[in-house]
Amino acid sequence: MIASSTRRRVAAATVLACAVAPFVGIAPARAAEITVTDATGDVRNANNGNPTPTVNNGDFTQVTYNHRRARVVITGDYVDLEQPRSTPQGEDTSLFFATRMRTDEDVYRVAFTGADSSEPGGETELFGRRGRRVRCDVEHNIDYLSNSIRVSIPRSCLSRPNWIRFTSIHLTFDRNRATVDNPHDDGADPTAWTSKVFHD
């Protein structure tokens, strides 16, 4: 299991709580792929929302959403993506990358990727409304050398959408500090979703 159950619950609660963000388009419509570019140095303390400008770990540079005919591919790129580790004090660091999706068929999904020192390669799960797990052959790759996380989801796991809107968030737990970033604005939680991303 990735990280402690407490960290997992906190991360999941944070992700699901942001699901009420409004549908504000932030990229051109009628696209099969949208890349959202994020300013760097905008990581924040997850507990109080205060800026932590010296933190590069988990700081998005961009997130690309690709809606293909067979799969939905999400790629997060970072300034720095540190591999989780155990500290000499026996404390563990962990990371969570999550993307929320809403479709024209009113299907809601969250792709939730987590990694810690015991499983740095991580695991990804897919959830529906009210946090119900959706069985699906989700694939992912965490590349610490290239500072990126890639998640690939069968399009059938979202029904057969004509379009999808996305919003992402990243949380890092490092000892007693939790930090958060999103690629859509400089706040702790995203306040907008992408425009409609149509399949190619």
CATH of the domain at 17: 2.60.40
Q: What does 67-125 look like in DSSP terms, one character per residue?
A: E-SSEEEEEEEESB-PPP-B-TTS-B-EEEEEEEEEETT--EEEEEEEEETTEEEEEEE
Q: What is the mean pLDDT of residues 138-166?
A: 97
- Give the structural domain span for 86: 5-198
pLDDT band at 4 (very low <50, low <70, confident <90, very high): low
> How many domains are there within the chain?
1
**pLDDT at residue 134 in the model:** 95
Buried b (16+ CB within 10 A) or exposed e, 48-61: eeeebeebbbbbbb
Listed residue (167, 158, 162) closest to 109, CA to CA: 158
Residue 23 reports pLDDT greater than 60: no
Give the predicted TM-score (pTM) of the model: 0.88
Average pLDDT, integer, range 153-171: 96
Sign of the torsion formed by the C-alpha atoms of 200, 193, 157 and 35:
positive
The residue type of 180 is V
Beta bridge partners of 177: 174
- Read off the pLDDT of residues 81-108 as tens digits, 9 standing for 90 and up: 999 988 776 678 899 999 999 999 999 9
Mean per-residue pLDDT, 56-76: 97
Tokens representing 199 are: 């399949």
Q: Give yes or no for residue 24 having a pLDDT over 50.
A: no
